[in-house]
Chain A
Amino acid sequence: MVTKLKQVLFREFKKSETKHHELNYLFWECTTRCNLNCRHCGSDCSKDSFYKDMPLDDFLKALDTIESPCEHFTVVLTGGEPLLRKDIELCGREIRKRGMRWSMVSNGYLYDNEKHISLLNAGLGALTISVDGLESSHNWLRNNDKSFERVDIAIGLAASSSRLNFDVVTCVNKRNFHELEEIRKYLIQKGVKAWRLFTIVPIGRAKEDDEMFLTDNQFIELMNFISESRTRKDIDVKFSCEGFVGKYESKVRDSNFFCRAGINIGSILIDGSISACPNIDRTFAQGNIYKDNFFSVWQTKYELFRDRSWTKTGKCAECEDYKNCQGNGFHYWHGEKKNVLVCHNERLKKTTNR
């Protein structure tokens, strides 16, 4: 009864948030260059980027179109690997000069003590670093023998700062699945306070690699692991906001599933495209900063993000949980967009009912 009531209220809350679509989280894909060549990449980046880094001035012109940014408005620098930009501190300072905040997603390879200090000096306020397993499995996914050694230094530094809102993310796959408890202990020992777990989206170069994807049974075990870990309170473990997980909703996250792409989350991608999360199919772009006024696009477009009724197709068409899920994470709609790529809820139900 309470659960049903909470769901009804949360749907009302989502409607209200969607109607007002306050922009408070802006990804900037500031580079697509990367110093690693991972077996999986949310942005499909590699060492050889087709694009040049976006000039800071181009981004700032778009940023300056935002009228009265909200209190916690944050620009999230992502890539590629943002630390490959030599002007990363300048980028951060310019964002702060505008009364906005900035954060960064990094693979941690170049995050040494000197960089840690210079980024803090430039007003970095939040940071996410990827750790995809213990040494062997992390290096395997990252395709680099020194990657774990370097990320170990990075997370130690980041965790030592009391002012950085820092978390570690892990893409769970067949290789690291059996290490989750060991990874948890390792992160606690490093002083990490928050850990987010993902599964891998079957797109880009990961698509054909079976080792990237959990079986249905492993997925349910992952839910149980997160749920159980959250009762221990020694590190804030959560499942990412990637999808709706039915009966696990209240057990694996702080809040119910709500894909805020295009509702509170926007992005400026490497070619100037205006969209939402960088892992969303790029055909959903709503405009381009080199042609359009960024904030005007944010205020007046994004119809497909704010009215998701078009996702009631394929397996979502007859789903009894559609009203709470609304087509899963937006990044699960690719290509023809006739069917959701992954339905977490279906996987869980299928496995539970066996």
Chain B
Amino acid sequence: MNAPQHVTDAIVLTRTDYGEADRILTLLTPTYGKVRLMAKGVRRVRSKLAGSIELFSVTNVTFVKGRGDIGTLVSARLQTYYGRIVQNIDRTMLGYELIKQLHKVTEDELESDYFQLLEQAFIALDDPTISCDLIRVWFSAQLLRLSGHTPNLRTEPDGTKLATTQRYEFSFDDRAFMARPDAPYDADVIKFLRLIFNGNIPHILARVESNAEFVARCQLLVVGLRRATLRE
């Protein structure tokens, strides 16, 4: 009896060599989490730079599960290719960086939210009007949010509500802001952080007035928090 075929959308996370002509793909899917699939005979015939299994794309794949960890790719059909990413070297590099971050900090069993996160990152990277810095901060924040590590953006560690007139420093130990007169963060930055951590997409954040300034002011905090919190 033939093994059942599974059909799903997928995003390529990694491509590695297997033998003379095969490649093993790690794909992120909304329904199966991460799956590892053998793509047989693709290397010598046609490099993965071409064809349906592109990076920075969403592909509809059909596969059969194997006895071990690795299934077999049966077919692939390109659905959406975010081709403008590769027209810019910085955006391409950031794209690789985000894929790597997501792959490193996640287990094989994943919620569909991670698939949507990466797809949303591609959409943002594909739009040259959205800055790389904004995408980088937003992506780090979403990784923290999805893994349940959203910092406290409402109260100080002792429960005191954050005030609009105060300045704050961020305590990495308490994952919360603490009032200090000459501290770097004010109410506007914290408000922007709330917008980011609420799951708003980069296109919404890019509409916020002075978003570039806010991104610059909270970049170290958010990226630092991601590095300190998630295993990389």
On whether the two chains bind one another, the answer is: no
